[in-house]
Structure 1
């Protein structure tokens, strides 16, 4: 079985700097591991059964992260960046996956940092996509996939090829040790550029501007007089309709 795992394909929104006029500055912010990325590698290790696990990422960051978690080799599209068009990000990822050929399973984190990229990737790969995946079992010719939505879980048996968007149900249990990290540095890393790929999409999304959200002014209550402070607090809560 040939498995492609996608990791560090986003930037953490919390790392962005927002100025008073609402402009967003991503300078110096690298691609980050999101909460679902460890589950991606864990899922790949579970179903690989001696097959090949290839890790795919874009931009910058620590390329040994996936190698330390079992990937045989890593592919990095070094000049690909995340912009406001999720389909553009998905186009770069899908172009490399198509180039690899004969891929059985693609696994990506079902991250809330970018809801659109997963759906766009499924469309561009023309591949069945299942999201909200919490566990996967290899049954030989098929995969037994557990999908959760809200409080409901269902088990689906699917044939490959398939794209799985995995959601983490717990924090990483067995993080790689120092020996794993050192060994990962010896694994092959293929660095390519967008020019090496046949990318069939260009970004058409244009940002018209950003601004800080409107927030009501804060009311500061002097707490030196506890009784008066409580009265002011109750009055404010009634005024705002909280009580």
Structure 2
């Protein structure tokens, strides 16, 4: 099988600086591996079955990250903008994936950092997608994919090409050491620019303003007197039509 793993495709929202006017400043913030990326690589290597695992990243993603975890080579789109919307990022990733012939599956972290990219990527490729994937194994002529749905698990049999959005259930167990990282830097890296993909760089997306959602203010009930607090709670629930 030939599998592409998208890694370091988003930035940690905690690293953003938010101004008093609501504008978000990403200056100096680099692409980071989210909690789901290592699991995506682990699943890809387990189902490759002697095939090829290819890492795909954008902008300032570390090319050795996937290589140190089993990728045979890495593709990097060096001039992809990091401050554009999810649909643009999804289209850039899809264009790079279409350059690779015979791809059976694309794995990407089902990251809470930017849900939109996963949907945009699957839509741009026109492939079926499975979200919330926690594990997968290669069947005779399909992939047996396990996804988590709330407290329940569901096993699906899917045929490629397919997008698997991976959700990690635990932290990375086997972090590569210095030896693996140094060896990874010797693996092939293909650096592309948007022009190679037939795309035009997008201009920066500017925030036009922000506001809080229109929600009623919370009502806080004093719990010092339990009986009175219960009466007030029941009265409030009745007033809102809950009871």
The TM-score range, normalised by the shorter chain, is 0.7 to 0.9
TM-score by length of 1: 0.84
Residues in 1 aligned to 2:139 and 2:63: alpha-carbon distance in whole angstroms: 31
Contact 1:21 1:212 (C-alpha < 8 Å) held by counterparts: no
Deviation at 1:116, TM superposition (A): 1.0
Indicate the residue corresponding to 1:150 in structure 2: 150
Indicate the residue corresponding to 1:66 in structure 2: 66
1:28-68 superposed Cα distances (whole Å, 9 cap, x missing partner): 10001101000110011110111001100001032111110
Residues in 2 aligned to 1:163 and 1:201: alpha-carbon distance in whole angstroms: 25
TM-score by length of 2: 0.84
Indicate the residue corresponding to 1:12 in structure 2: 12
Indicate the residue corresponding to 1:86 in structure 2: 86
Gaps of 5+ in 2: 215-221, 234-243
1:108-136 superposed Cα distances (whole Å, 9 cap, x missing partner): 00001111111111111011100000100
Gaps of 5+ in 1: 215-231
Aligned length: 222
Contact 2:194 2:200 (C-alpha < 8 Å) held by counterparts: no
Moved more, 149-158 or 82-91: 82-91
Residues in 2 aligned to 1:213 and 1:141: alpha-carbon distance in whole angstroms: 48
Residues in 1 aligned to 2:87 and 2:20: alpha-carbon distance in whole angstroms: 29
Q: Secondary structure at the match of 1:155?
A: strand
Counterpart mapping for 1:89-238 below 5 A: 89-199=89-199, 207-210=207-210
Deviation at 1:198, TM superposition (A): 2.6
Deviation at 1:152, TM superposition (A): 1.4
Indicate the residue corresponding to 1:55 in structure 2: 55
- Let me know the Cα RMSD of the aligned residues: 2.6
Q: Secondary structure at the match of 1:164?
A: strand
